[in-house]
Amino acid sequence: MGCTRYGRILRQIRAQRREVMQDMAKVLGVAPSFLSAVENGKERIPEDWAHKIANHYGLSDEELKKLEQANVNDDKNKLGKYVYNERVKAGLTRNALALKAGISHTEIKRIEEGQRKSPSCSHLKAIANALMVPLYEIYQVAGIMTEDMSLVDKAFPSLTTAKQRDTLIKIARLIATNEDLLTDNDLDELVMQVDMFLLYVMDRKKR
């Protein structure tokens, strides 16, 4: 992979100030090898780099805007960027996150680099738990959750399948659309009916 647009701008900044990669890496608090990997698109661009560079090198507002727009990750692979940034905040390596989430290092790498376009819900849940971020948030970033579903997951984070969430949403919508007809006693009876049905299902599975 060749140098990215972001990388070319960083190199231009160094050239204008007669600096080498080691100088900029020191400003950013990273190893030169990591800076090189970012410039070549092999590592994701940390969110705070643009402002660190702008403050240290005295970039104009226009120069800062160009640097931010050059971040090739802003509009592409939002999930990968999200996972990467949350992982860095948590101080975890890819291997550490993989171990904590109970999934392969290769899967984490594919998600972060945008190679895995549709990660499974179980993997997203494992990553969310490992990073200690809300499940609904990572689902929204991945583009698999509607606003309604995000509210459900906020209230019921233990739901694990789309069918469970859809069922809960349908029940809630039925109650909402018939609120004028349902009394408090009706709602109590509905809860009892659901409870009885669940007992029936559990009994059936024991047979």
> Do the beta carbons of residue 124 and residue 142 sit within 8 Å?
yes
Determine the Cα–Cα distance for residues 170 and 190; give it in Å rounded to an integer: 14
Provide, rounded to the nearest whole percent, the portion of the chain with pLDDT above 70.
89
Please check the confidence at residue 1 and state whether its pLDDT lies above 60.
no
Burial of 53 (0-12, 13-18, 19+ CB in 10 A): buried
Instruction: Write down the pLDDT at residue 37.
Output: 87
Determine the Cα–Cα distance for residues 154 and 152; give it in Å rounded to an integer: 5
Q: What is the average pLDDT value for the chain, to the nearest integer?
A: 83
56 contacts: CB under 8 Å, gap ≥ 6: 27
* Measured CA angle at 146 (ends 135, 170), to 5 deg: 100
What is the average per-residue pLDDT within 109-124? 82
Please check the confidence at residue 156 and state whether its pLDDT lies above 80.
no
pLDDT single digits (tens) 26-41 = 999 999 999 998 888 7
Greater model confidence, 146 or 74: 146
Query: How many beta carbons lie within 10 A of that of residue 105, not counting itself?
Result: 14
Determine the Cα–Cα distance for residues 173 and 93; give it in Å rounded to an integer: 43
Q: Where are the domains of the chain?
A: 5-69, 78-146, 169-206
Please check the confidence at residue 180 and state whether its pLDDT lies above 90.
no
Cα distances (angstroms) measured from residue 119 to each of 116, 122, 127, 146: 6, 8, 11, 17
Instruction: Write down the pLDDT at residue 74.
Output: 45
Provide, rounded to the nearest whole percent, the portion of the chain with pLDDT above 90.
31
Instruction: Write down the pLDDT at residue 131.
Output: 94
Instruction: Write down the pLDDT at residue 76.
Output: 60
Residue 136, token pair as written in the block:
């609904």
Query: Hey, which CATH number is domain 78-146, 3.30.70.980, 1.20.120.1630, 3.90.550.10, 1.10.260.40?
Result: 1.10.260.40
Q: Do domains 5-69 and 78-146 have the same CATH topology?
A: yes
Poorest-pLDDT segment among 14-23, 139-148, 163-172, 193-202? 139-148
Each residue of 152-174: b (16+ CB within 10 Å) or e?
A: bbeeeeebeeeeebeebeeeeee
Residue range 5-69 forms a domain whose CATH class is mainly alpha
What is the average per-residue pLDDT within 161-183? 80
Instruction: Write down the pLDDT at residue 153.
Output: 67
- What do you get for the CA distance between the two ends of the chain, in Å? 59
Q: Which residue has the tokens 């969310």?
A: 128
Burial of 198 (0-12, 13-18, 19+ CB in 10 A): exposed
